[in-house]
A and B are shown apart, each in its own frame.
Chain A
Amino acid sequence: MSYSFLQHYWCFVVALLGAILVFLLFVQGANSVAGSLGYTQEGRRLVYNSTGRKWEFTFTTLVTFGGAFFASYPLFYSTSFGGAYWLWMIILFTFVVQAVSYEFQNKIGNFLGPKTFQFCLTLNGILGPLLLGGAVATFFEGSNFIVEKENLINGASLTPVISHWANASHGLDALLNPWVLVFGFAVVFLARTLGILYVMNNVDDEDIRSRGSVRLLGAAVPFVILFVAYLVHLLLKDGFAYDPATGVIFMEPLKYLHNLLDMWYLAVLLLIGVVLVLYGIGKTIISKNYIGGIWPAGIGTVLTVLALLLCSAWNNTAYYPSTADLQSSLTMQNSCSSEFTLRTMFYVSLLVPFVLAYIVYAWRAIDAKKITKEEIEKAEHVY
């Protein structure tokens, strides 16, 4: 295993975790439409109890995504989290309030009332995907930072910090870029689409399923429009390329289109992913009895996001580009951990299939029977 292989491998692992995270944002998506999807108090409770059995997977994947990124690309962790401070803090804030909302909302003794926590779930349901999507968009659009490692030992510098954000907004400036917003809202509507598909599959309730088909159209149409718009923009835009011989980063016209052509297998992955998402949505809208749309759409989401994330980093591309100082841009090569650490973590990552196996086993065990109103009334643990 060469250093280069390990860098590519860990990029793949982090991208896969990111792709699975985007799929699992169906929890947020469903929560953001719980009011209209559930309609009645009883119906809303069904929706929350349905997503309530999965939210920890989303949360855990987010934490593992962070941990894996830290271990394999510490300079990204240092630069992005320490620089885009406000962006990440708002994301964290919404996930923190979400984490307690399920457990607290309907418990006796909740003096803030269930609506407070349902509002928190809605807030997280919109802001979580929007800002995470926005953060991903900066992988293509660039961010305003400067990395200067000499600062650490330069006695003349005010603070010995190696990475700085080039303006005072600390990450919020990304939201001024319309393309970041287009991608962010595409993720919001994707999460909503997946959320509706998931609830239709997981909850055995005719009202919710019939409402779901209608709401699905309202989420899927804006998603498709925004996603296609961003995809076209991405394929036509200049990209941040990296010269492996000199380490110099430069702008290359149509870089991401070139990446997909050079790495045809990613293009195939992207195509299959998009087709599966559209199939999942289309069949659910057309066929009255079809409730399995979450599976093709979910798998399609993972494949699509995986292809996009790998397109931002493989094939000599700067995956976290700096618009303030091009040469500060982060590449797999200049931001990764040492070969020793990547190799050690490679062996740890071999446990992942085992982890996935027990997740699937446990998930099937508790999901074998769909959630019903009767179950919510009688169950030992309900939200």
Chain B
Amino acid sequence: MVTITSIISLLQASLPEQGGELLNAVDWARAQFALTAIYHWLFVPLTLGLGLIMSIMETKYYRTGSEFWRRTTQFWQRLFGINFAMGIATGIILEFEFGTNWSNYSWFVGDIFGAPLAVEGIVAFFMESTFVAVMYFGWDKVSKGFHLASTWLTWIGATISAWWILVANSWMQYPVGCEFNPDTMRNEMTSFFDVALSPFAIDKFCHTVISSWIIGAVFVAAVSAWYLLKKREAERELALKSLRIGAIVGLIASIGAAITGDESAYKVAEVQPMKLAAMEALYNGGTDQSLTALAWVNPFKQPNYAEEEEAPLRIAIPNGLSILATRSLHGFVPGVNDILKGYTREDGTVELSAREKMTRGLLAIAALQNYRRDAADEKAFLAGEAPDLNFKERKEQQLAILKDNIQYLGYGFIKDEAELVPFIPINFWAFRIMVGLGTLFILYFAFLIFLQWRKKEVASMKWLLWLSIILLPCAYICSESGWLVAEFGRQPWTIQDMLPVNASVSDISSSAVATTFWLFLILFTTMLAVEISIMLKQIKKGEPFPVTSQEGE
């Protein structure tokens, strides 16, 4: 797991000088949100992944009536329950932090952003919390069918919840279905379906949820491998059969994650080219771009992208990036400097330089100021308190300027074009860790299935069992790395090109946010330590079956 202190140091390194202050209120707010999100994401993917696997197991119990599958399901549900509680505890903070730490954001786009959160509560949370209670307490109280349905509905509820949260997050990456209203000073929704069914959201949902199944599969494999390594005969059948289900789910998930990940990268290239340039440490773009397999990018220092031609010691796959980003061997991919200086897209669209966008952003802000001043004067005129100075026409003139420049409004809050470049090292390395480990999982699960197909004795392959255990923290690192790319790559924007972080925060002192940051860090870390301790004890306790009379399928 990426440690919190390294996150803070990376966050510090990723920011321009703050006038001598170590971290300002914006940075603390970011750090607090990152802390909560990183902790929350330790538990959610296991809920989604293990939820699927235990639902499959209970289906086997429902179909066969076998006591073995009933107890195996109950064993995994016990571990699921310990993890689930932590997911709930850390999740509530995230929702409310939008208000507590990002209050400007909450008003500026609350008209759009609040809707998915409300739908999530109404549609998904109640489903999850209702049926998880039946799942826990309903054994022997409700029918087998109702219990099975409850287990599946718990998982479906969690997945629907993920859908709406990822819709909300995708909207921050690619804001669609909205329009700025100068009278209310906020963005307002114009199409719910554009928001809820944005292609970016669909890709993100598929990639995130499918990749979460990998964590469930690796978790099941790791626990099963431990029983086999310890030669726990009482759990041997549970381990072997769980390993089989885990391997199938894991292979489907890891291949699925690769396919959806490729599609996600394509979408990023289209709507967040700066993020892609940071992921690739691509300073100067062009046609026929190669995909960097490895290069030396100092993990703690923003590279001198303006001066350097490319990252040193670079090993690359010819034309790989052009194919990934444009689906063409010779496609043009812009680098950091191209985006800052302005470039022309393949379809002929001219992307303005950063400086031009910042100028237009200031124009939009000035027009908005004038419009609102004229509107206030007009109100005074209508109340008979001021003379008419042709406000209607003046407002229309300002509206026209605003309309021409509204898409750059957010750039008006940017002081220096260097702010527009996300911290390249974290994007570059996190992307490589994610892709590298993702590839490893495909090979691992394919090998596991191959062994089972050839009826090889997995239990006697110690190195494979150890590998299964070692891969568990790797799965978490892989999953968290994906989020680091998604979120660090969007900087400095809270909403891509619309609202930067420095215009999104609440008016809370940095010391107050720092205090809550440390409180939550201590709290979450303590809770995590207890959770891991309980989980390990539960695993150690196991689910002992009579060694001589094991029931099978």
Contacts and interface: CB of A to CB of B under 8 A. Distances in A.
Interface of A: 53, 56-57, 59-60, 62-68, 70-72, 74-75, 77-83, 85-86, 88-89, 92-93, 95-97, 99-100, 102-104, 107-112, 149-150, 152-155, 159-165, 168, 170, 246, 337-338, 340-341, 344-345, 348-349, 351-352, 355, 358-359, 362-363, 365-366, 368-369, 379-381
Interface stretch (B111-119, B260-268, B342-350, B459-467): B111-119
Contact of B103 (A96, A163, A359): A163
Contact of B95 (A67, A111, A163, A345): A67
A78 B107 contact: yes
Contact of B531 (A89, A100, A379): A100
A85 B541 contact: no
Interface stretch (B181-189, B199-207, B226-234): B181-189
A70 B122 contact: no
29 contacts: A59-B88, A59-B92, A60-B128, A64-B121, A66-B117, A70-B113, A74-B114, A74-B186, A78-B107, A82-B103, A82-B106, A82-B508, A85-B100, A96-B89, A103-B81, A104-B85, A108-B541, A110-B534, A149-B185, A159-B25, A160-B502, A337-B114, A338-B188, A348-B115, A351-B122, A355-B127, A362-B130, A363-B130, A380-B74
A180 B92 CA distance: 25
Contact of B150 (A63, A71, A111, A362): A362
A125 B352 CA distance: 57
Given A100-B527, A352-B122, A365-B146, A71 B114 contact: yes
B99 interface: yes
B96 A111 contact: no
Contacts of A99: 85, 88-89, 92
A263 to B, nearest CB: 26
Contacts of B136: 380-381
A72 B85 CA distance: 29
Interface in B126-164: 126-134, 136-139, 141-142, 146, 150
Contacts of B181: 338
Interface stretch (B215-223, B247-255, B287-295, B364-372): B364-372
Contacts of B25: 159
A355 B122 contact: yes
A160 B415 CA distance: 14
Contacts of B509: 168
A149 B503 CA distance: 12
A14 B118 CA distance: 11
B189 A152 contact: no
Given A57-B129, A81-B106, A109-B537, A63 B89 contact: no
B92 A63 contact: yes
B165 to A, nearest CB: 11
Contacts of A168: 509
Nearest to B100: A81
B91 to A, nearest CB: 8
Q: Which 8 A-B pairs have the closest CB atoms?
A: A82-B103, A74-B110, A81-B99, A109-B537, A64-B121, A71-B114, A82-B506, A99-B89
A99 to B, nearest CB: 4
* Residue among A67, A340, A380 with max Cβ neighbours from chain B (10 Å): A67
A380 B85 contact: no
Contacts of B372: 150, 153
A152 B108 contact: yes
A246 B382 CA distance: 11
Interface of B: 25, 74, 77-78, 81-82, 84-86, 88-93, 95-96, 98-104, 106-108, 110-115, 117-123, 125-134, 136-139, 141-142, 146, 150, 181, 184-186, 188-190, 192, 365, 368-369, 372, 383, 413, 502-503, 505-509, 512, 516, 519, 523, 526-527, 529-531, 533-538, 541
B189 A344 contact: yes
A95 B523 CA distance: 12
B107 A70 contact: no
B530 to A, nearest CB: 6
Nearest to B71: A380
A60 B126 contact: yes
Interface centre among A83, A109, A363 (most CB of B within 10 A): A109
Nearest to A246: B383
A130 to B, nearest CB: 18
A225 B290 CA distance: 76
Nearest to B101: A82
A201 B527 CA distance: 33
Contact of A67 (B111, B117, B189, B527): B117
B114 A77 contact: yes
Contacts of B189: 337-338, 340-341, 344
A70 B132 contact: no
A165 B101 CA distance: 13
Contacts of A154: 369
B439 to A, nearest CB: 35
Contact of A359 (B118, B130, B527): B130
B85 A163 contact: no
Contacts of B185: 149, 152-153, 162
Given A104-B530, A362-B130, A109 B123 contact: no
A102 B85 contact: yes
Residue among A82, A168, A363 with the highest chain B CB neighbour number at 10 A = A82
Contact of B134 (A103, A165, A366): A366
A100 B88 CA distance: 8
The interface centre, meaning the residue of B123, B530, B535 with most chain A CB atoms within 10 A of its CB, is B530
Contact of A165 (B74, B99, B507): B507
Given A60-B129, A102-B85, A153-B368, A379 B137 contact: yes
A60 B101 contact: no
A380 to B, nearest CB: 5
B103 A108 contact: no
B100 A348 contact: no
B114 A348 contact: no
